[in-house]
Structure formats: structure tokens, C-alpha cells
């Protein structure tokens, strides 16, 4: 929109261009001399203003001068200059970048002319301007006026208004207008109007509504186009109804439509996002067979999906197929593949792949550096930065150094992490809150809150504030240390500084309250969290459930499990383990076994931790043989027992005074390739002594030492205690 002081010259220029066209005289009832007279007047005004009202700097001398400049083009003077304004010229005037109020005055004044009637084009131009200004009530009034005047509607006008609704963020109004086209204005919409509405609904995140409009279109006998199917499929995919989108793909041929590249790409992208990689591969093959050319992004979607489910080899083969078909992998392609290799622990292979990338960038190097850091190879990560990045076109960025700082903190090298931060400052890097938050988190996890607060003070000096991650680090550290009051002080400060708490904040606080047995306050905070719109996750529920189970409040724990299910959050392994352990400790091992079967039935993976809880429960109730049978069953299901499993069974046999069977299990450890730990030896030594077999206990000790066992304080305490008892027994016997 041009500024109003410049409007006069602009309007005059547009009107002059119209008046120079011989077939369209400026005033239909006037002569050419009238137009020339208008131009001469305009020139006189401009010359006078130029001579008298501009100072040496090119500015008007007063605000009155602006008014004088505008005056010859005020609406009243314009009206006096026109003998008759035709619809064509009114359209041209409305199309000028003048404000809505002026356009409205022109529109209304033109309508008062004798023998004049607004044309469709005038209404279209005026409604276009009103739509851009979101004047929708006025648009509705004009539509009814058009109907009353008998103006023949065109679909393009309704489509224009629909798009204006879309731009104004009112997708529902475009749907209403689609219905009004038929019901109010007597105009039958075609597939074009439906396509516009569908497009607006998808852009406005009304993904659930779009399919309803589509099916209404089909019910009215309108034939959809490939574009229609593409938009509706996008709506289904964004609503996470990928199967419905796939079904729609198969229905396209019924309506004479052939899928195009965009449709296949939409569906492949959605399938890859939800890890349905096989279906994505199937569609990619079909796409190629149908003659639709996939782009690099389509291949990238499938490669990303394969990497997410650790099918790296297949992803690499797909890259080879891309090259064979003449496609050039981009940096994103290599990034997905390198990230997949790093997550699979194949960092060396990722490094080899990076060497083959034609034009590597800093993101790819950062992926490799992060891969080395995650696998604990800090020296290799630093070597990549120093040897391959520093001084090259892929100069390390802030993210590179943040990765190194995070790695140093993770390994406990907090001093080195601090030194690296200082080095970054010397090199001129502008450190952000993320850098300091990583360092604060490292100190907090080690319980070094004084150092963490020192880093925070450094942030304040540089004008930086803690972010949510930084606050969460302090809150978590205070809660783990039992300083819940301090944690809530940080929480209050966090809220006061406008930093919104997230689920990690609340989980830490709930854990802290549970740790100090403030269950009512923990439950109250849990409810407050839900009221604030923060969605609880498995960690939230498991923290509360385990705390209640720990205090023997099994009923309260079960209520939380039901609430968990009600909110669509299925219990995970940790939830089941807590419940199974509580049942076993209460002697209800049979119920625990039934819960275990339910856990497996609902898709939870078989876990050795869960099995050990059940085996321990059976052994504690004297059902050692049942425990052995259960172990054989889980081994048959593919589970491998660990040293904890054998220790539980050895202790179970010893408690039943079946010492030889316990020794047999100990011997079996050697065959299984499992090394006995101090608990194994201490259990056997203790029970041999208790059952009056001290010599056998000493033989076990010698054997253990030969196998690398280092006796601890518990070992020596048991031996001394038992041998002293035996010695005193012998003294008593000799005296008697």
C-alpha cells in the first residue's frame, strides 16, 4: 500500500494512461478536450507545488502543504471531475493501492450514477480488496446484494473468497461458504471449489474435516482429480491415518485417476515416519513401475526409515540403487546413513563413508564427531575436529564444540570441559545458553552444585539466562540429594523468569517428594501438572507407582495404573516389574506369574530383570524346582540367564539345604561362560560354614582366588565368625 501523500500523482498517472486509449475516452459523455483540461490543471498544480512548496532539502515546508498536495485528488474533487464513471474505470480505480474506505466511497458513489450498474468485474475487484483486509461481513453483504441485483455468479469469485478465508486463518468459513454456494446463492460448485476448500483445510490443520468434504464431493457425483486425492491423502497422513490414505490410493483408478509422483511421495514420507519401512519400499518400487519419477527426498525418506530401524545395510544398498538410476545423493542422504551407522556403533564405517562424500559439510562432520563421543571415543572425536575441521572449509561451529563439551562431561572430565569453554571464548565464539547448560548439567550430575552455580554466575555476567535444560539440571540434582526445598526454590524462580516447566521438571520434583515420603504433595503436584496442560509420561506414573508400592500402598498404585491406561499410556516393563515385585514380596507369586504372562501378551519384551524377580519370588517361598522349570521355559523363549539368575537359584538351593545342587549350578557357570561374582562365592562359603563344612568352604575360597576372586570384607567376616563359632564349640565339647 503506497503512502497517501503520493497517491494523487499515482492516481493521475493511471487515469491519464486510461484517457490516452482512443477506444476508452476518460468520460463517456465528455470530449477529449475535457480530459486535456484535467491534465493541464494537474500539471499546473504540480509545477506550483514544485516551485513554491519544496525547500532546499526536498521536504515540504509544513503539514498544510501535504494537504494541498492531496486536495486535488480527494474523493469529492474526483467525483466532480467525472461526468460518468464506467464499470471498467471503476475496476481500474479499485485496483489501485488505495485504502478500503476510499475504495468503498468510490464504489458507493459510482452506484448512485444515473443509468449505472455494477458489473461482475467491479464486484470481483472490490471483494478482492475487502478480502485482503479481512472485511468478511462486508463481503457477505455484497454477495447478497449481487444476488438481489441478478448478477450472474462465477465460481472464481467464491474461490477467491475461500482463499481469503484461508489466509485469514478461518478454514471453517471456507467450508461454510462451500455449502452457501448451493443453499444461499444457488450456484452449484464444481470440483474446483472443493479442491480449494480441501487445500485450505489441510493448510489450516483441519485434517479430520477434509475427508468429510471429500466424501460429500463424491456423494454429489463430482469427479475428483489426482490433485484432490493428493490433498485428502495428505490430510489422512497428517491425522496419522496412513492406512486410510493407502486405501484411497487404491481407489483412485475407480475414478479414472492415475497416481502421480506427489501422491506417492506423500504416502512414502508418512510410512517412513511411523517406521513402516517395508510398506515404504513397496510403494517406492510401485512408483518406479508406474513411471513416476521419485526425487532425492523420496529416497531420503526411505533411507531415513531404514536407518531408524537399524537396517543400515539395506539403506546403503538403496543409495547404490539411487546412483545406478542416475540420482545424486545429497548431504541429507549421507547424513541419514552416517547417523544410522553411528547409532549402530559403526563409527569407523561412517568415517569411511564421509571420505566418499563429494562435498562434505560441517553437519556431516558433526555427525561423525557425535558418533565418536556417544561411543566413548573422545580422543578420536577430538582428532576429527583438529585434523579434518580446523582450518578447512568445514570449520568447527558452536554445535561441534557443544558435542565435545557434552562428551567430556559425560566421561567426568569436567575440568577439561571448562577449559574447552574458555578456549572457545578466546577464539571468539559467542557462547549461548546451550553451551553453559551442558556444563551445568555435567556438574549437577556429579553433585557439584557449587561449581554449577559458579558457571551460572558466569552466564549472568554475559547477559545470558538459564534455559529449561539448565533449570532442570539444578532441580534434578537437588531432588536426588534430598534437598527438595531448594529444588522448589529453583522451580519458583524458573516460573518467575518466564521459563516454562516441562515434563522433566515435574518428574524430578515428583521424584524428590516421593524420596522424602511426601506422597500427598507428590500427588498434588501431579494433578497440578495435568491442569497446566503438561502430559504425564511413563516416568511420571512409574515414579508414583513405585513410591506407593514401596510404602505398601498397593491399592493406590493400582489406581494409578488404571489412570495410566485411561490416558492411553500402556504400562511398560518398569511398571510391570514394580507390580510383580510387590506381589512376590507379599507372597502372591501365582498372581505375579499371571501378570507376567499378561505383560508378554501385551507386547512387552521378555526381560531378564522381570524373570529374576519371579525366580527370586519362587525361591523365597521354597519353590526352587518351580523356579528351575520357569528358567527352562524362558530360556526356550530365547532369554539368556545372567549371573544374578544363578545367584538367586544357588541361594534358593542353599536355603533348602540342597548344597550339592547349588554347587552343581556353580559348576554349570563355567560351561555357560559366566564368571561367578563375589555374591556367588560368599553365598556358597557362608552356607558351607553354616552346614558344618568349613573345609569345603576353604576349598571354594582357594578355587575362587585362583579364578580371580578377591575376597571382600563380607567374605572374611563370614569365615572368622564361623571358625570362631566352631572353635568355641570344640572347647565346650572338650570341657564337657
Domains and CATH numbers, the chain: 468-560 (1.25.40.10), 570-636 (no CATH), 642-736 (1.25.40.10)
Give the Cα separation of 659 and 266 in Å (integer): 66
Number of Cβ within 10 Å of residue 699's Cβ equals 13
Number of Cβ within 10 Å of residue 382's Cβ equals 18
Give the Cα separation of 654 and 690 in Å (integer): 10
pLDDT of residue 725: 65
Residue for cell digits 482463499? 163
Contact assessment for residue 534 and residue 501, using Cβ atoms and an 8 Å cutoff? yes
> Running along the chain, 736 residues long, what does each successive block of 10 average in pLDDT?
41 46 35 38 40 41 43 53 79 90 91 91 95 94 94 95 95 94 94 96 94 94 94 94 93 91 94 91 91 90 92 91 88 93 92 91 95 93 91 91 94 92 89 93 93 92 91 95 94 89 95 94 94 92 94 90 90 92 90 91 88 93 91 89 92 91 88 87 88 86 85 85 63 44
467's grid cell = 534455559
pLDDT of residue 12: 47
Give the Cα separation of 439 and 422 in Å (integer): 12
Contact assessment for residue 440 and residue 474, using Cβ atoms and an 8 Å cutoff? yes
Q: What is the DSSP string of 350-376?
A: HHHHHHH-SS--HHHHHHHHHHHHHTT
Three-point CA angle 688, 691, 693, nearest 5°: 50
pLDDT of residue 76: 59
Q: Which of 229, 224, 219, 170 is closest to 193 using CA atoms?
A: 224
Q: What is the dihedral angle through the alpha carbons of 705, 710, 714, 717, rounded to the nearest 10 degrees?
A: 60
255's grid cell = 475414478
Q: Give backbone dihedrals phi and psi of 54, rounded to 5 degrees, phi first.
A: -105, 135
pLDDT of residue 481: 92
Entry pTM:
0.68
pLDDT of residue 649: 93
Give the Cα separation of 310 and 678 in Å (integer): 37
pLDDT of residue 138: 95
Helices (H), 153-276: 155-167, 171-183, 191-203, 210-219, 226-238, 242-251, 261-273
Give the Cα separation of 100 and 104 in Å (integer): 6
pLDDT of residue 706: 85
Three-point CA angle 259, 262, 267, nearest 5°: 80
Half-sphere exposure of 682 (CA within 13 A, CB side): 14
Contact assessment for residue 604 and residue 611, using Cβ atoms and an 8 Å cutoff? no
DSSP 3-state assignment of 545? helix
Number of Cβ within 10 Å of residue 427's Cβ equals 10
Q: Which of 242, 250, 252 is closest to 280 using CA atoms?
A: 242
First to last CA, the chain: 118
Give 536's DSSP letter: P
262's grid cell = 506427489
Amino acid at each position: 500500500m503506497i503512502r497517501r501523500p503520493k497517491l494523487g500523482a499515482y492516481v493521475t498517472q493511471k487515469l491519464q494512461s486510461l484517457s490516452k486509449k482512443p477506444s476508452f475516452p476518460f468520460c463517456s459523455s465528455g470530449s477529449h478536450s475535457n480530459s486535456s483540461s484535467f491534465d493541464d490543471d494537474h500539471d499546473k498544480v504540480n509545477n506550483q507545488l514544485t516551485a513554491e512548496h519544496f525547500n532546499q532539502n526536498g521536504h515540504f515546508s509544513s503539514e498544510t502543504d501535504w494537504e494541498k498536495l492531496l486536495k486535488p485528488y480527494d474523493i469529492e474533487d474526483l467525483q466532480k471531475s467525472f461526468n460518468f464513471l464506467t464499470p471498467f474505470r471503476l475496476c481500474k480505480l479499485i485496483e489501485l493501492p488505495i485504502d478500503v474506505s476510499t475504495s468503498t466511497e468510490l464504489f458507493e458513489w459510482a452506484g448512485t450514477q444515473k443509468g449505472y450498474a455494477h458489473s461482475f468485474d467491479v464486484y470481483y475487484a472490490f471483494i478482492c480488496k475487502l478480502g485482503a483486509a479481512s472485511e468478511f461481513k462486508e463481503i457477505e453483504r455484497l454477495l447478497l446484494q449481487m444476488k438481489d441485483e441478478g448478477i450472474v455468479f462465477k465460481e472464481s469469485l467464491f474461490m477467491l473468497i475461500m482463499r481469503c478465508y484461508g489466509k485469514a486463518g478461518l478454514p471453517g468459513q471456507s467450508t461454510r461458504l462451500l455449502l452457501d454456494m448451493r443453499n444461499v446463492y444457488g450456484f452449484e460448485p464444481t470440483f474446483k471449489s472443493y479442491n480449494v476448500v480441501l487445500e485450505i483445510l489441510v493448510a489450516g490443520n483441519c485434517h479430520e474435516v477434509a475427508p468429510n468434504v471429500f466424501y460429500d464431493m463424491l456423494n454429489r457425483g463430482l469427479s475428483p482429480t489426482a490433485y484432490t486425492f493428493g490433498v485428502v491423502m495428505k490430510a489422512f497422513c497428517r491425522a496419522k491415518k496412513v492406512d486410510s490414505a493407502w486405501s484411497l490410493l487404491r481407489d483412485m483408478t475407480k475414478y479414472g485417476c492415475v497416481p502421480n509422483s506427489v501422491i506417492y511421495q506423500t504416502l512414502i514420507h508418512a510410512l517412513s515416519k511411523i517406521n513402516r519401512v517395508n510398506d515404504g519400499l513397496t510403494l517406492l518400487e510401485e512408483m518406479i513401475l508406474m513411471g513416476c519419477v521419485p526425487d532425492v527426498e523420496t529416497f531420503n525418506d526411505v533411507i531415513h526409515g531404514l536407518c531408524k530401524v537399524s537396517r543400515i545395510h539395506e539403506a546403503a544398498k538403496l543409495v547404490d540403487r539411487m546412483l545406478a538410476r542416475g540420482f545424486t545423493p545429497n548431504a541429507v542422504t549421507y547424513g541419514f546413513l552416517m547417523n544410522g551407522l553411528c547409532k549402530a556403533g559403526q563409527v569407523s564405517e561412517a568415517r569411511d563413508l564421509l571420505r566418499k562424500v563429494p562435498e562434505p559439510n560441517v553437519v556431516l562432520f558433526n555427525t561423525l564427531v557425535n558418533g565418536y563421543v556417544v561411543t566413548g571415543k573422545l580422543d578420536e572425536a577430538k582428532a576429527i575436529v583438529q585434523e579434518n575441521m580446523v582450518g578447512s572449509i568445514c570449520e568447527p561451529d558452536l554445535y561441534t564444540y557443544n558435542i565435545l563439551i557434552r562428551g567430556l562431561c559425560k566421561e567426568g572430565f569436567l575440568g577439561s570441559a571448562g577449559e574447552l569453554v574458555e578456549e572457545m571464548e578466546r577464539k571468539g565464539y559467542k557462547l549461548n545458553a546451550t553451551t553453559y547448560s551442558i556444563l551445568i548439567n555435567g556438574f549437577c550430575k556429579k553433585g557439584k552444585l557449587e561449581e554449577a552455580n559458579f558457571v551460572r554466575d558466569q552466564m549472568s555476567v554475559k547477559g545470558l539466562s538459564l534455559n529449561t535444560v539448565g533449570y532442570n539440571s539444578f532441580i534434578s540434582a537437588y531432588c536426588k540429594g534430598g534437598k527438595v526445598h531448594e529444588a522448589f526454590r529453583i522451580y519458583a524462580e524458573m516460573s518467575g523468569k518466564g521459563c516454562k516447566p516441562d515434563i522433566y521438571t515435574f518428574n524430578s520434583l515428583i521424584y524428590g517428594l516421593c524420596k522424602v515420603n511426601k506422597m500427598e504433595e507428590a500427588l498434588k503436584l501431579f494433578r497440578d501438572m495435568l491442569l497446566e496442560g503438561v502430559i504425564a509420561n511413563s516416568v511420571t506414573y512409574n515414579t508414583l507407582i513405585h513410591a506407593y508400592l514401596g510404602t505398601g500402598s498397593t491399592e493406590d498404585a493400582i489406581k494409578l495404573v488404571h489412570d495410566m491406561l485411561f490416558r492411553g499410556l500402556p504400562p511398560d516393563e518398569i511398571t510391570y516389574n514394580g507390580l510383580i515385585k510387590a506381589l512376590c514380596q507379599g507372597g502372591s507369586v501365582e498372581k505375579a506369574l499371571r501378570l507376567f504372562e499378561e505383560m508378554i501378551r501385551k507386547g512387552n519384551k521378555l526381560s531378564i530383570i522381570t524373570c529374576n524377580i519371579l525366580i527370586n519370588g519362587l525361591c523365597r517361598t521354597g519353590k526352587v524346582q518351580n523356579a528351575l522349570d520357569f528358567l527352562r521355559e524362558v530360556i526356550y523363549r530365547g532369554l539368556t540367564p545372567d549371573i544374578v539368575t544363578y545367584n538367586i537359584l544357588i541361594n534358593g538351593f542353599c536355603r533348602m539345604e540342597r548344597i550339592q545342587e547349588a554347587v552343581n549350578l556353580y559348576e554349570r557357570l563355567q560351561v555357560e561362560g559366566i564368571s561367578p561374582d563375589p555374591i556367588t562365592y560368599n553365598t556358597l562359603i557362608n552356607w558351607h560354614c553354616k552346614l558344618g563344612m568349613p573345609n569345603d568352604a576353604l576349598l571354594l575360597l582357594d578355587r575362587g582366588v585362583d579364578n580371580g576372586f578377591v575376597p571382600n570384607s563380607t567374605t572374611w567376616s563370614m569365615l572368622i565368625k564361623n571358625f570362631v563359632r566352631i572353635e568355641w564349640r570344640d572347647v565346650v565339647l572338650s570341657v564337657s
